[in-house]
Chains A and B, each alone.
Chain A
Amino acid sequence: MLRQTFARSIRFNSTVAKTAPRALSNAYVNQLEARWETLPQADQSALINDLKERMKISWGELTPAEKKAAYYISYGEWGPRAPLYSPGDKSKVFWGTMIGMFAGLVIFVGLKTFAGSKSVTMNREWHEKSDEYLKSQNANPFTGYSQVQ
């Protein structure tokens, strides 16, 4: 009993207790995720400093709202830890790619449609004759050879 009284009085009179004597109000630190990034720089710094002071005492004495706020500021998804893609981005990239591929396909088919006729050499008979000729010329004696497509 006496010891607890002493401990309490020491803690109460310490510099830490004087700078962060009371829990920060829920209105001040609650739901920080929703408004953190829109807070002015000065307010952000003030909040960080207030939490820093509060965290000098035993963390077990912090309110749940303070703990959540401190965690969010240190490790939350904002600033450099913000997600790479916002919700609509992935479908935008997907559909952009699809449209690009489709445009490529249209150009390919268009070119094939309006292209000139194939070369006279592009047929099976010609390729077979090529094989005969190249075989007679000893082309590729090791692993076999075929021009036929």
Chain B
Amino acid sequence: MTWLDVPAPWAMRLQDAASPNQEGIHELYDHIMFYLALVLGLVSYMTIVIVKDFTKNKFAHKQLRHGQTLEIIWTMFPALILLLMSFPSFILLYLSDEVLTPALTVKIVGLQWYWKYEYSDFVNKTGETLEYESYIMPDDMLEEGNTRLLDTDTSIVLPVDTHVRFIVTANDVMHSFAVPSLGIKIDATPGRLNQVSTLMERTGVFYGQCSELCGVNHALMPMKMQCVTMEDFLTYLSELSE
């Protein structure tokens, strides 16, 4: 079992959490897995018993037309299980949707087939907002060790332990901005601004891929996010604004 910031060969589970949202998703996953194991055990047991005891018994169901108690049980039990799963799920959903006092806003625009990032809170010396585009690294330009189909020429650089708000939109067709380690997946829709926030709890590099089928190069517009210390972030910003 592997938990990763990046996709890995044969990875079966969720990527490592780097934000409270993703930690919540991990917890919900484990929670629902418990009920799943319970239901799997019960259904398997009943199936085996039915197959074993009643396969060749022609009289087994002869008088069985209706069972009130049984029907109440098999209606109530799944309803109860669904309720037990839905409460933590809705709590997490609404908590994840909340955007609380962000310290920094980044605008993200999806285009066919690349991303454009804009640090809307900052301007350069000529008074324009800081913005740049990010393209996938083509295979022939990869340096040894780069991750194919994931590395980009530029990446979003963000400070650690800071509430960041992403304003997400698109310029042509629908895209989807997704970073599994942060538990983010939000549609980028033309003519609409969607917002989502995150709090990265550790420095590192996080990868994501466009998650809404957007055309022939849908697979070739990954996003790379670097989380750095506040000092490094400020240095990066001042370099960018020059």
What are the residues of chain A within 8 A of B10 when measuring CB–CB? 149
- Which of B76-84, B118-126, B145-153 is near enough to bind chain A? B145-153
What are the residues of chain A within 8 A of B6 when measuring CB–CB? 134, 139-140, 145
Which residues of chain B from 2 to 47 have any CB-CB distance to chain A below 8 Å in the complex?
Answer: 2-6, 8-10, 15-16
Question: Please, how many angstroms separate the alpha-carbon atoms of A142 and B17 in the complex?
Answer: 10
A147 at the A/B interface (Cβ < 8 Å)? yes
A125 at the A/B interface (Cβ < 8 Å)? yes
A81 at the A/B interface (Cβ < 8 Å)? yes
Question: Please, how many angstroms separate the alpha-carbon atoms of A141 and B148 in the complex?
Answer: 21
Question: Please, how many angstroms separate the alpha-carbon atoms of A121 and B145 in the complex?
Answer: 8
* B interface secondary structure, majority: loop
What are the residues of chain A within 8 A of B4 when measuring CB–CB? 139-140, 143, 145
A133 at the A/B interface (Cβ < 8 Å)? yes
Render B150-171 as a binary contact track against A, CB cut-off 8 A, 1 for contact.
0000000000000000000000
Question: Please, how many angstroms separate the alpha-carbon atoms of A126 and B142 in the complex?
Answer: 11
B237 at the A/B interface (Cβ < 8 Å)? no
A25 at the A/B interface (Cβ < 8 Å)? no
- Is A120 a contact partner of B3 (Cβ separation < 8 A)? no
Question: Please, how many angstroms separate the alpha-carbon atoms of A120 and B144 in the complex?
Answer: 9
Q: A129-B144, A138-B205 are in contact. Are A145 and B2 (CB under 8 A)?
A: yes
**Of the residues A121, A134, A141, A149, contact of B202 by C-beta under 8 Å:** A141
A113 at the A/B interface (Cβ < 8 Å)? no
Question: Please, how many angstroms separate the alpha-carbon atoms of A141 and B16 in the complex?
Answer: 8
Which residues of chain B from 31 to 76 have any CB-CB distance to chain A below 8 Å in the complex?
Answer: 58
- Is B204 a contact partner of A137 (Cβ separation < 8 A)? yes
Question: Please, how many angstroms separate the alpha-carbon atoms of A133 and B204 in the complex?
Answer: 11
Minimal Cβ-Cβ distance residue in B for A146: B8
- Is A139 a contact partner of B205 (Cβ separation < 8 A)? yes
A-B contact pairs, 23 of them (CB 8 A): A75-B58, A81-B58, A119-B139, A119-B148, A120-B142, A129-B144, A130-B145, A132-B145, A133-B145, A134-B205, A137-B204, A137-B205, A138-B202, A140-B2, A140-B6, A141-B202, A142-B3, A143-B1, A143-B16, A145-B2, A145-B5, A147-B8, A149-B9
Report A's interface with B, CB cutoff 8 A: 75, 81, 119-121, 125-126, 129-130, 132-134, 137-143, 145-149
